[in-house]
């Protein structure tokens, strides 16, 4: 999927400034860290809007405004996550947790609901459509986009970060911090796409399977937050935060995670309702169609 790759550019740029720019004056660092995510977000929104205009010229129906709003919201959430605006959240562990929640749960859902692959298929050239179709039919994509695989990558990434020395490494290493942000954004996008994405996804399991996976992933996410809260004095390993700060971060993880999972469940059920409503309307039209009159013999 080509969509998150552009967003990942913003993930790569801002943390490098944040971790590698200690020699920069505070005002300069603040300005650079603010401008880079904002410029990238504006560029992504502008590219999306341009694609919707092309889509409107080539397709019988105009692009839905709600999807454009979803894309704009997702890009804005990524920009906020990578900007110094989060410095107002008390505590370093809490700030990092809010970043991870925005990048891994809330922004991906908004970006997925914008249906960027569908937009690309409608606005792109025949060559682009053929390439996208081959990618969607590829077996590795089928494996990665299965809800179980996506959930393992999504929740498993959080578990690895907070239960191993990886978190301590990200506080010392800008490349590690960048890779963690990129993983959260990509894994979160994949998880939301596998469960509730309006974009085409060959061999996507039924709604019941996706809801079961969502409940299981939500339970694992909540359990990890509780574990982090209960052992705030020694988790994450190698961390330098006060226990009270880790407890606050765990509460953010628990409650905001619940909100994100409820929104994802609503998106799954809304997609199911739209699919059934469309079939019901089509069936009603066929039933209501008057029978063709038989020719009169002369």
The domain locations on the chain are 3-277
Answer yes or no: are the C-beta atoms of 246 and 232 closer than 8 Å: yes
Answer yes or no: are the C-beta atoms of 74 and 230 closer than 8 Å: no
User: What is the pLDDT at residue 86?
Assistant: 67
Give pLDDT tens digits along the chain (298 positions). 343 333 333 333 444 444 433 333 344 445 556 687 888 899 999 999 999 999 999 888 889 999 999 999 999 999 999 887 665 565 678 888 999 999 999 999 999 999 999 999 999 888 989 999 899 889 888 898 899 999 999 999 999 999 999 998 988 888 898 899 999 999 999 999 999 989 888 788 899 999 999 999 999 999 999 999 999 999 999 877 889 999 999 999 999 999 999 999 999 999 888 877 655 434 444 444 454 444 444 4
Question: In degrees rounded to 5, what are phi and psi of residue 22?
Answer: -65, -25
Q: Tell me the pTM.
A: 0.81
Kindly report the number of other CB atoms within 10 A of residue 15's CB atom: 23
User: What is the pLDDT at residue 221?
Assistant: 96
User: What is the pLDDT at residue 101?
Assistant: 93
Give dist(CA 151, CA 194) in Å, integer.
9
User: What is the pLDDT at residue 18?
Assistant: 42
User: What is the pLDDT at residue 10?
Assistant: 39
Answer yes or no: are the C-beta atoms of 207 and 273 closer than 8 Å: no
User: What is the pLDDT at residue 5?
Assistant: 39
Closest by Cα among 67, 50, 47 to 58? 50
Give dist(CA 36, CA 101) in Å, integer.
20
* Structure-token pair, residue 292: 């063709």
User: What is the pLDDT at residue 91?
Assistant: 60
Give dist(CA 279, CA 51) in Å, integer.
29
Query: H or E segment at 269?
Result: helix 243-288
Q: DSSP label at 164?
A: S
Answer yes or no: are the C-beta atoms of 175 and 166 closer than 8 Å: no
User: What is the pLDDT at residue 32?
Assistant: 56
User: What is the pLDDT at residue 155?
Assistant: 95
């Amino acid at each position: 999927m080509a969509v998150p790759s552009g967003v990942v550019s913003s993930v790569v740029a801002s943390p490098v400034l944040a971790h590698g720019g200690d020699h920069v004056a505070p005002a300069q660092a603040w300005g650079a860290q603010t401008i880079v995510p904002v410029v990238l977000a504006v560029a992504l929104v502008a590219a999306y809007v341009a694609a919707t205009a092309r889509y409107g010229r080539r397709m019988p129906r105009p692009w839905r405004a709600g999807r454009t709003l979803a894309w704009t919201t997702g890009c804005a959430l990524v920009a906020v996550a990578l900007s110094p605006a989060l410095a107002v959240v008390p505590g370093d562990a809490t700030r990092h947790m809010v970043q991870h929640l925005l990048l891994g749960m809330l922004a991906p859902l908004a970006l997925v609901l914008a249906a960027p692959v569908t937009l690309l298929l409608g606005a792109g050239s025949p060559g682009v459509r053929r390439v996208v179709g081959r990618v969607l039919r590829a077996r590795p994509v089928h494996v990665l986009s299965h809800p179980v695989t996506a959930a393992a990558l999504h929740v498993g990434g959080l578990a690895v970060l907070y239960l191993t020395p990886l978190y301590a490494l990200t506080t010392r290493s800008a490349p590690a911090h960048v890779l963690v942000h990129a993983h959260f954004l990509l894994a979160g996008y994949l998880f939301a796409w596998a469960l509730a994405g309006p974009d085409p996804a060959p061999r996507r399991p039924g709604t019941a399977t996706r809801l079961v996976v969502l409940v299981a992933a939500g339970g694992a996410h909540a359990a990890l937050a509780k574990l982090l809260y209960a052992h705030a004095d020694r988790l994450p390993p190698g961390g330098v935060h006060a226990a009270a700060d880790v407890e606050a971060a765990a509460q953010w993880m628990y409650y905001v995670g619940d909100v994100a999972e409820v929104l994802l469940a609503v998106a799954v059920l809304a997609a199911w309702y739209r699919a059934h409503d469309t079939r019901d309307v089509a069936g009603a039209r066929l039933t209501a169609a008057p029978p063709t009159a038989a020719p009169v013999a002369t």
